[in-house]
Structure 1
Amino acid sequence: MVEEKEYLDRTERAERQGLERLLSYFPAWIRSLITEDVEGTEEVAMDLDRPLVIRRRGEQYLYREVSAADIEYFYNKVGSFRSNGRAGIPGTLHRISVIRDSDDLAIGFTIRFGRAIPGIAKPLQKWISGRDSVLIIGPPGVGKTTLLRGIVEEKAKVLKARLVVVDTSNEIAGDGTVPHPIIGSARRMMVGDPRKQASIIMQAITNHSPETIVVDEIGYHDDVAVLETARRRGVDIVATVHGEDLIDVLENPVLKPLLGYPDLEHGRRLTRPSFRIGIAVLAKGVYKVYPDFTLAIDQALHREDPEGEVVDTRLR
């Protein structure tokens, strides 16, 4: 119990300090607007001589135009961006992306407010606590990565250092060499360039003896090939993919090997899928769990509604 309290205290402290630092990057007038509902703020878009856009609780709000002085102030606060156009704040989950003009000058930013929510995956515990591979499905911005962190949090309590997070662009465990405390005792391997994700996954498998590997946003052929290798070696996978629903994922040609080579035209698959459990993120905090992912795939291939259980954590 003492250990759990210390973990929660560390997480809460990291969240508070990280938010304070991020807010300090904004010009005062933007900072004031954000703090009107800081808990509901999801994203801020700043573009030169264009209206400021703040996305809160799924809605967009427009304000006065962003000036060159606002852009310069924010850029100087951030300091520098990586080659992929992103920057972060060490120890936090917030993500900052830059837009540049043809002369490579910064003319806009997208600031994604990342949050660690301890216990977010507890309502799904009976499906995620075991040694089963899990695929999380959902469109951008719906909360896939937040749920993924929650699953890491739950699994790390059992697997500890045998759980390895392959963290591309530091999306899961935040920026900086020391990962955010939300991942508990799990280990983190950083990936600066998404094109190198597959090689880091292979390093994790061959060098660090994980029981489970966690990956956010698989989508390259090399990712799929190395994850197939992981499953053949007995390593479980927890991963996210983009898609509005299961059919979207089945229609993605890159992912076919992990889904049993589904043939939508003939309504069948050739092999067993690499995942035992599927979770579709329907909205923030609303999930449809497919406890038998193989059955769900077969039903989708037959144009039936896949059997699953809807869990709405907003009601709890």
Structure 2
Amino acid sequence: MTTPFSEELALLVDVLPLALRERLTTLPEDGLLEIVMDLGRPPQARYADRVEALDDRPVSRDDIAHVVTQVGEFGADNRAGIEGTLHRISAIRNRKGDVIGLTLRVGRAVSGTIELIRDLVASGRSLLLLGRPGIGKTTKLREVARVLADDYGKRVVVIDTSNEIGGDGDIPHPAIGGARRMQVPRPEKQHAVMIEAVENHMPEVIVIDEIGTEAEALAARTIAERGVQLIGTAHGNTLENLVQNPTLSDLVGGVQTVTLGDEEARFRGTQKTVAERKAPPTFEQVVELVDREELIVHTDTAAAVDSILRGEDAGGIRRTPDGESRVKVPAPETSGKPRSSEALKGEVRIYPYAVSRDLVERVIRSFRFDARTVSSPERADMILALRSRADDGRLRRILGATGLPLHTVKKSSTAQIRRLLNHVFSQAEEVAEADIDAAVKETEAAVQKVLEEAVEVALAPQPKEVRKIQHHIVNRYHLVAESVGSDPLRHLVIYPDWTEARS
């Protein structure tokens, strides 16, 4: 049985040698990420959760030459495209400049990818997306450009360095809607084209992918200071990564070392030499893409960066299709010790805010959650509120006074409340200290193996909170890790550097 490819994917498949085309027709299109052809090795089709061999015969020079002649000339960034599509073909060259490897990345226009951040996009404030390669940052940028241009009537200019947002060719792909697109002749000219866009074309919004140099960070600050909304991505998985990156930290305010006087140091309870934020952030909002349907939102970049520099948690709000919850609610100086999500053990007392108390109690009874509602936030362990009321002044005052964790649902319905409470109770499960220690040791050993042998290593299945710790360990070594499988068998796979370069 053969697989009928969509019209756009067929254009990518058509550039392959005949044997590979025929093999691909037996494989599903859904979930296909890329096709890899390396000289002397069997070709592969890579999916999000597996790899499929396309041929037992190793890739020959003729196979690579066939593809190269089909896609045309590669740019200075060793990337080429197919006109009218979003596909990207990247080349690996030997020391003489000959192409000896190809990564054919499948490009798709996907709708609905920005629903979790639509409010941030529409706010008019600059927004930075962070996340590992292949998690969908560029796909989201593409839809952001279309939504702002078509749904909100904004003057949007896309700075397209590798034609990855707007597709190959002189006419932009319909996926960016009415947004205009400026191509970049060479990667090192990206910062100059960013400034040219503002000076020549009067945009209200600029969309930019992969800010990665000091010149681009400076150009971004210049643009933001002129009142233009910036929507962009940068290298780094978390806000903390970015703060520690000397080249890109200026995007979130930069870091400077300050020497305090004796009295000030005693007042703060710190050493005399401290790290502080240098300037207002270029991007007022930052989103960390944890997974395709899970992200952490920092709506106040300045406050989050200040927390990191004080050695505290960055905080933020975790958003999923089922609702949102605070990663951490810091207690104000005037309040007592906050009750965090760690306190949600035994019977949980819930204070409903703008959510039907009767409905919450009905869900608790029907699904036998170890919880009950209370009429006063002072007696509660958590607050359950409507997402649309999360910024109410009264609710903000309650959170400030009590330090309670806030969990929200999009609408007051049985299904949404049940999913939210399922999430809360699963997060409150204790993980034995010994189990965490064992997972950390396993991760450290796996990282060393990846670094020494350049092979991918799969870790044992772990709960979500343990996987988060493992991700932080992997990030310290500048490697890439991905959670694969479904609970209770979901686990991390750690990849060597070459995998990141191809993503």
TM-score above 0.5, yes or no: yes
Contact 2:252–2:301 (Cα < 8 Å) also in 1: no
* Greater alpha carbon shift after TM alignment, 116-125 vs 71-80: 71-80
> Equivalent residue for 1:25?
15
SS in 2 for 1:279: strand
Match of 1:211 among 187, 201, 204: 204
Alignment of 1:250-289 (within 5 A): 250-263=243-256, 266-289=274-297
Deviations, residues 268-294 of structure 1 (Å, cap 9, x unaligned): 212211112111111233321112222
> Equivalent residue for 1:153?
146
Match of 2:300 among 292, 298, 301: 292
SS in 2 for 1:73: helix
> Equivalent residue for 1:3?
none
Q: How many Å apart are 1:304 and its aligned residue?
A: 2.7
> Equivalent residue for 2:358?
none
> Equivalent residue for 1:166?
159
* Whole-angstrom distance in 2 between the partners of 1:285 and 1:213: 25
Q: How many Å apart are 1:314 and its aligned residue?
A: 9.4
Q: How many Å apart are 1:83 and its aligned residue?
A: 3.1
> Equivalent residue for 2:366?
none
Contact 1:163–1:212 (Cα < 8 Å) also in 2: yes
TM-score, length basis structure 1: 0.88
Q: How many Å apart are 1:300 and its aligned residue?
A: 2.2
Consecutive unaligned residues of structure 2, counting only runs of 5 or more, are 258-272, 324-415, 417-503
Alignment of 1:37-52 (within 5 A): 37-52=28-43
> Equivalent residue for 1:238?
231
Letter in 1 for 2:294: V
Match of 1:117 among 97, 110, 114: 110
**1:226 and 2:216 matched:** no
Deviations, residues 166-215 of structure 1 (Å, cap 9, x unaligned): 11111211111111111111111111311001111111000111111111
Two-structure CA RMSD over aligned residues (Å): 2.3
Q: How many Å apart are 1:161 and its aligned residue?
A: 5.7
* Whole-angstrom distance in 2 between the partners of 1:313 and 1:38: 25
Q: How many Å apart are 1:267 and its aligned residue?
A: 4.4
> Equivalent residue for 2:262?
none
* Whole-angstrom distance in 1 between the partners of 2:87 and 2:238: 27
Alignment of 1:16-95 (within 5 A): 16-35=6-25, 36-63=27-54, 64=56, 65-95=58-88
Contact 2:240–2:314 (Cα < 8 Å) also in 1: no
Q: How many Å apart are 1:263 and its aligned residue?
A: 4.4
Letter in 2 for 1:176: G
Letter in 2 for 1:136: L
* Whole-angstrom distance in 2 between the partners of 1:262 and 1:109: 39
Contact 1:159–1:211 (Cα < 8 Å) also in 2: no
> Equivalent residue for 2:172?
179
Contact 1:121–1:150 (Cα < 8 Å) also in 2: yes
* Whole-angstrom distance in 1 between the partners of 2:23 and 2:297: 37
Q: What percent identity do the matched residue pairs reach? A: 37
Deviations, residues 217-271 of structure 1 (Å, cap 9, x unaligned): 1111211222111112111111101112111111111223221123488242122
* Whole-angstrom distance in 1 between the partners of 2:295 and 2:143: 13
The structure showing larger relative contact order (alpha-carbon pairs under 8 Å, at least 6 residues apart) is 1
Deviations, residues 109-153 of structure 1 (Å, cap 9, x unaligned): 111111110221123212211211001111222211112112222
Letter in 1 for 2:33: E
SS in 2 for 1:37: coil
SS in 1 for 2:210: coil
Consecutive unaligned residues of structure 1, counting only runs of 5 or more, are 1-14
Q: Which has the larger radius of gyration?
A: 2
> Equivalent residue for 2:181?
188
Contact 2:75–2:186 (Cα < 8 Å) also in 1: no
* Greater alpha carbon shift after TM alignment, 189-198 vs 264-273: 264-273
Q: How many residues align?
A: 302
* Greater alpha carbon shift after TM alignment, 230-239 vs 288-297: 288-297
* Whole-angstrom distance in 2 between the partners of 1:229 and 1:199: 11
Contact 1:129–1:154 (Cα < 8 Å) also in 2: no
* Greater alpha carbon shift after TM alignment, 147-156 vs 257-266: 257-266
Pick closer, same or farther for the CA change 1:160–1:33 going to 2, 3 Å.
Answer: farther
**1:105 and 2:98 matched:** yes
Pick closer, same or farther for the CA change 1:218–1:58 going to 2, 3 Å.
Answer: farther
Letter in 2 for 1:34: L
Deviations, residues 70-100 of structure 1 (Å, cap 9, x unaligned): 2232222223322332110111111001223
Pick closer, same or farther for the CA change 1:66–1:158 going to 2, 3 Å.
Answer: same
Letter in 1 for 2:172: P
TM-score, length basis structure 2: 0.56
* Whole-angstrom distance in 2 between the partners of 1:34 and 1:276: 44
Deviations, residues 284-316 of structure 1 (Å, cap 9, x unaligned): 333211122222222222333322222335999
> Equivalent residue for 1:9?
none
**1:141 and 2:149 matched:** no
SS in 1 for 2:220: helix
Contact 1:160–1:186 (Cα < 8 Å) also in 2: no
SS in 2 for 1:151: helix
> Equivalent residue for 1:7?
none
Pick closer, same or farther for the CA change 1:167–1:313 going to 2, 3 Å.
Answer: farther
Contact 1:286–1:314 (Cα < 8 Å) also in 2: no
